[in-house]
Amino acid sequence: MLLQGILLIGLTVLVIALLLRWQMPAILGYLAAGIVLREFGYDLYGQSSELRLLGELGLVFLLFTLGLEFSLPKLKSLRRAVFVFGPSQLLGTAFALGLPLYLFGLQSKLALVLSLALAMSSTALVSKLLATQRELNTRHGRNAIGVLLFQDLAAVPLLILVPALGVSGEGQLAQHLLLAFAKGLTAAALLVLVGRKLLPPLFHWVGKSRSDELFVLVCLLVTLVAAEVTHELGLSMALGAFLAGTLLGESQFRHQIEAEIRPFRDVLMGLFFIGIGNLLTLTVLVDHTKVIVLALPLIILIKALVVYVSLRLLKERRREAIMSGIVLAQVGEFGFALLALASDTALLDRTTVSVALFVGIASMLLAPLALRHSGNLADRLLRRRRRQEDDSDPLQVIELAALELSGHVIVCGFGRVGQLVVRFTENEGYKALALDRDSQRVLEANQAGVRVFFGDASRPEILRAAGLDRARMVVVCVDSAGHAELIIRRVRALQPELPVLVRTQDDSHLDVLRESGATEVVPEILEGSLMLVSHVLVMLDVPVNKVLHRVQQARRARYKQLKGFFYGAGADMTVDSSKRPQQLHPVTLGKDAAGVGSTLGDLHLEAMGIEVTTLRRGEVETAYPANTEMLRAGDTLVLMGFPENIEAAESRLISGARRFSRF
């Protein structure tokens, strides 16, 4: 048991670390760990009833968490997406997947369970990626969240349905289903009645005790008691946990419960998904490669098409319908849970479950890439359709619009900032021509009479059509730094002397964009900081002229004073270094420090990616000291750079590690 535990944890840490490096969801790491352990001969559930119990508890906490996240206010705000689009997606997908399975010889109840499991989408993956891409409040984001909320609702009957199908024999299906649903309603009524009476005063009492340990224990107790109630009624333990989660999800203690129970949930859910991965063997993958390769694109396509058709019938726009289909096309973690339940009740054989799980895992691997490029994919599909419907060439449309323009401003990207640039330049009497890759945004802007055209500004022919040779300036307002860099290089190749202004969110790509040829790079975060500081100084009665001078000085110095900050204990060190601000870190030289007696130039800190922002010697501070400055004992250097580089630089200053090497 101990050896198995060590192998489990060690292998899981290794796999998840690799997946996080590749920006893949941790759930895939747990599944991969289970597969690897299986290949080494460890049948976790077959060898250890304790691990099997822990895996079942993982499913319990997974459903408890889903219940906690279930929100009635959100349900009301998204009621159309939940109660109209949600059922059409789930039932439509289950029918579209189940009918072929039934026609190919699978029993009706097996086809039903398999199709329902594959119809589920990943709540954790979709909500996280949409939040990361700031798309939760977009039309396709709200559509996706509405469907996921309905799938959470559907969890209750499905958790009753699957075990009932597993124990019912021929001719007894209706009887078992009626009995199971009667038990489910009884359990739900009992838990709701008792929970509403007992849980509020219980948690108020626990809250007054101000004991974290007691709070955690009560959370665990409530979850396990609810799971045991449904288990004693012959239903799934996960059903009771879900009902308990929904009861607590509407309480004022929801966020604290979620935070306190997370460590237990993550560990036990990890064991659950490791157990699911342990059901898989590479032999099944090899023997059924053709089936998996054929089934994967077919399932993704069917799920996306059902979503698209459902939304179009509900009068949704084409672009949003396509993007919603792409977002919901993967198989989710609750689908895995249904497959595990079906396997436990011997409803589905292990080979069928393994093939379905491999397809689900592959769909989740593809999901981050698909979600990231859902807008571009939708635009390409719509562009192809437009070209079939309309023979007019987009280049000719842009050329005709630009013929009358000279000395105009070309705005690349018509998002929030791009729209402000166009509005203010035209208010001052200058002409602006905007390019954007979002066809829906272009359509709405054109209807409002704004001069914006569909086109990728990184394509030289688009820039020529927009009259680049006659333009006065190019303003780049796209979200992706890589796309911005490509646009700058294309502009520079065609017009080397034309001013190019670039807007970025932060200063992480400042140097790269300047090296690409940008005349000026304006980081929003740093400019926002400058505006805040200027307001502070004005309210402190500093003369306006002096404030403006300070702001201009900071800009001329390329925002040097604003770069870097002291991280502290709350900084997120898991973020890739290219996506976080540089760190400021003070290093004081003792009398035995290796750097004492050397000049800054001798230490070659620049080659390590480190800049010395301040040298403090007694009461005297020198900003950005010269490389000829000789260091003395007691000096304090403020270093700026990324943490890994600062650690190496501090080692060189204190102990002399790699002192005479540039690299």
**Residue 500, beta-bridge partner list:** 474
DSSP secondary structure of 40-73: TT--HHHH-HHHHHHHHHHHHHHHHHHHHH--HH
418 and 362 within one domain: no
Cα 599 to Cα 54, 579, 615, distances in angstroms: 60, 32, 12
The tokens for 24 are 């893949």
180 and 88 within one domain: yes
- Beta carbons of 19 and 11 less than 8 angstroms apart: no
Distance between CA 525 and CA 417 in Å, rounded?
13
- Alpha helices, DSSP H, located in 328-373: 333-344, 350-372
* pLDDT tens-place string over residues 554-592: 666 655 555 555 554 444 444 444 445 677 788 888 888
- Beta carbons of 258 and 245 less than 8 angstroms apart: no
Domain boundary among 376, 401, 418: 376
Distance between CA 75 and CA 663 in Å, rounded?
57
Structurally, how many domains does the chain consist of? 3
660 φ, ψ to 5°?
Answer: -100, 15
115 and 200 within one domain: yes
Edge-to-edge strand order for the sheet containing 520-523? Answer: 452-454, 432-436, 409-412, 473-476, 500-504, 520-523
**Residue 611, beta-bridge partner list:** 640
Burial of residue 336 (CB within 10 Å: 0-12, 13-18, 19+) is buried
Q: pTM for this one?
A: 0.61
* DSSP secondary structure code for residue 81 in this structure: I
Per-residue buried b or exposed e for 407-429, using 16+ beta carbons within 10 Å of the residue's own CB: ebbbbbbbeebbbebbeebeeee
The tokens for 617 are 């010697």
Rg of the Cα trace of the chain?
30
Distance between CA 361 and CA 19 in Å, rounded?
13
264 and 145 within one domain: yes
The tokens for 21 are 């490096």
Cβ-based neighbours of 625, under 8 Å, separated by 6 or more:
600, 612, 614, 615
316 and 202 within one domain: yes
Amino acid sitting at position 249: G
- Beta carbons of 473 and 433 less than 8 angstroms apart: no
pLDDT for position 593: 86
| 541 within some domain | no
Distance between CA 413 and CA 455 in Å, rounded?
10
Distance between CA 513 and CA 510 in Å, rounded?
5
Sign of CA dihedral 72, 73, 74, 78: positive
| 552 within some domain | no
- Number of other residues whose CB lies within 10 A of the CB of residue 138: 16
| 547 within some domain | no
- Beta carbons of 140 and 374 less than 8 angstroms apart: yes
Domain boundary among 518, 547, 568: 518
- Alpha helices, DSSP H, located in 22-167: 26-39, 44-47, 49-69, 72-77, 79-80, 86-103, 108-119, 123-132, 139-167
The tokens for 282 are 């590479």
- Beta carbons of 341 and 163 less than 8 angstroms apart: yes
365 and 420 within one domain: no
pLDDT for position 427: 83
Domain boundary among 312, 347, 376: 376
pLDDT for position 572: 47
pLDDT for position 580: 53
The tokens for 227 are 């799971």
DSSP secondary structure of 210-276: T-HHHHHHHHHHHHHHHHHHHHHTTS-HHHHHHHHHHHHHTSTTHHHHHHHHHHHHHHHHHHHHHHH
- Number of other residues whose CB lies within 10 A of the CB of residue 569: 4
54 and 202 within one domain: yes
Where residue 595 sits, what CATH number does that domain have? Answer: 3.30.70.1450
pLDDT for position 569: 42
> Which residue shows structure tokens 């005790």?
209
Write out the residue range of the structural domain in which residue 499 sits. 392-518
| 277 within some domain | yes
Stretch (H or E) spanning 622: strand 620-623
Cβ-based neighbours of 345, under 8 Å, separated by 6 or more:
162, 163, 165, 166, 167
238 and 120 within one domain: yes
Helix axes 374-389, 318-327, angle to 10 degrees: 140
| 182 within some domain | yes
244 and 115 within one domain: yes
Where residue 48 sits, what CATH number does that domain have? Answer: 1.20.1530.20
372 and 401 within one domain: no
Rounded to the nearest 10°, the torsion over CA 577, 581, 583, 584 is: 160
| 559 within some domain | no
CA atoms within 13 A on the CB side of 224: 12
257 and 111 within one domain: yes
- Closest residue by Cα to residue 325 from 152, 148, 150, 140: 140
Where residue 396 sits, what CATH number does that domain have? Answer: 3.40.50.720
529 φ, ψ to 5°?
Answer: -65, -40
Distance between CA 241 and CA 228 in Å, rounded?
9
Stretch (H or E) spanning 326: helix 318-327
| 562 within some domain | no
Pairing of strands 473-476, 409-412: parallel
- Number of other residues whose CB lies within 10 A of the CB of residue 238: 29
| 551 within some domain | no
Residues of the chain with pLDDT under 70: 1-5, 7-8, 11-12, 19-20, 22-25, 42-55, 70-74, 167-173, 250-251, 265, 383-394, 447, 507, 554-581, 656-663
399 and 370 within one domain: no
**Residue 614, beta-bridge partner list:** 623, 638
Cβ-based neighbours of 223, under 8 Å, separated by 6 or more:
60, 61, 64, 241, 244, 245, 261
Distance between CA 208 and CA 202 in Å, rounded?
10
Cβ-based neighbours of 431, under 8 Å, separated by 6 or more:
405, 407, 408, 409, 425, 451
